[in-house]
Structure 1
Amino acid sequence: MTLLKSKLKEIFSKAKQQQREVVFLCIGSDRYIGDSLGPLIGSMMLENGISRPVHGTLEEPVHAFNLKLALKDIHKKNENPILISIDASLGTKEQVGDVLFKEGPLVPGKALKKMLPEVGDYHFQGIVNYLDPFPSSQFLNDTRLHTVMKLAKLITQIIIDSDKEE
């Protein structure tokens, strides 16, 4: 996690030098436990006083139906932002509970075969469940709240710690 915090601090520092705003886009819906990771993190970041713009909370989630509108809003309010997107993801059984952080865009809804725009200059993925032979919609319903909360707290803490130390 120390490596991840230093990477985020580096991104924050680079953004400051380039006079660009770092914006967080937390994707998901509070209607499915497995898809609530993004909105949970968005709400937790705001509760912890993050100094950067956050889009996507439990109160106002950003999901498949309003993602394009949210992106328009972000780019209208922030000239050339550095966008860090956050979403729940499916992986292997061994990956459940892992946090991935990558440079480049996130493809939301990919596991459920949804056609949504790629988002983010960087992205976090929290592996909330694994692919199983059940119908795809079951993955989100069968995800444990404990796993989602644990990932949400971990990712939020990494971001908040990096933001405070910047």
Structure 2
Amino acid sequence: MEPKGEEINCLALKVKEIIQSSGCQNEDVIFLCIGSDRSVGDSLGPLVGTMLKEHTVPYRVYGTLENPVHAFNLKDTLKKIKKQFKKPLIFSVDACLGNQNQVGYVFLKDGPLVPGKALKKVLPEVGDYHITGMVNYIDPLPTMQFLNDTRLYTVMNLAKTIVKIITQASGETSGIK
């Protein structure tokens, strides 16, 4: 299920309002895109990060296909951010698993993201807000299997949608259709 234009506009407006009400300058707004390009389902974050950099959004972007932020370097990345910024506004971006009828949906939620939760990984909570894309659903099979069985088409559509939301929020026009 692909989000409709009005849903994208609504989420973009919410992101813009959050950024404006934070009082942060653009350079203190961070999109922390979490995931690994070694699994299709987990590649949403690095894809979004790469696309944001290509669109040259005015915000800081961590986590790209070239330099992903994942379970093994998340803590170090957070230390770098804490050292470099006094009080940044952090949006975490990650893939998530859930109900079958929600695959393809994008969620914007208040509060930190708990990365790796579906895979029972213990990682630090990250972000003031988080944007997740439902890449697949949970079934009785081992959860990791569902990240590996995720369709690249679904992940790409979610990445394009999230990038469209963020570029609209920044006031830029996105060339993504």
Same-fold status (TM-score > 0.5): yes
Report the Cα distance in structure 2 between the residues aligned to 1:30 and 1:70, rounded to whole angstroms. Answer: 17
Question: What pairs with 1:40-119 in structure 2 (closer than 5 Å)?
Answer: 40-119=47-126
Report the Cα distance in structure 2 between the residues aligned to 1:120 and 1:42, rounded to whole angstroms. Answer: 15
The code of the aligned residue for 1:160 comes to: T
The code of the aligned residue for 1:43 comes to: T
CA RMSD across the alignment: 1.2
Identity over aligned pairs, percent: 59
Q: CA deviation at 1:4?
A: 1.0
Question: What pairs with 1:1-166 in structure 2 (closer than 5 Å)?
Answer: 1-15=8-22, 17-18=23-24, 21-164=28-171
The code of the aligned residue for 1:82 comes to: L
Report the Cα distance in structure 2 between the residues aligned to 1:120 and 1:48, rounded to whole angstroms. Answer: 22
Report the Cα distance in structure 1 between the residues aligned to 2:117 and 2:146, rounded to whole angstroms. Answer: 13
Report the Cα distance in structure 2 between the residues aligned to 1:133 and 1:11, rounded to whole angstroms. Answer: 37
The more displaced of 49-58 and 130-139 is 130-139
Where does structure 1 differ by over 4 angstroms across 4 or more consecutive aligned residues?
A: none
Q: CA deviation at 1:138?
A: 0.5
Unaligned runs of 5+ residues in structure 2 are: 1-7, 173-177
Report the Cα distance in structure 1 between the residues aligned to 2:148 and 2:91, rounded to whole angstroms. Answer: 26
Q: CA deviation at 1:18?
A: 5.0
Unaligned runs of 5+ residues in structure 1 are: none
Instruction: Tell me the TM-score normalised to structure 1 length.
Output: 0.95
Instruction: Tell me the TM-score normalised to structure 2 length.
Output: 0.89
1:44-73 CA deviation, whole Å, 9 max, x = no partner?
000011111000000000000000001011
DSSP-derived class of the 1:45 partner = helix
Q: CA deviation at 1:124?
A: 0.3
Number of aligned pairs?
A: 164
Report the Cα distance in structure 1 between the residues aligned to 2:24 and 2:89, rounded to whole angstroms. Answer: 10
Q: CA deviation at 1:80?
A: 0.8
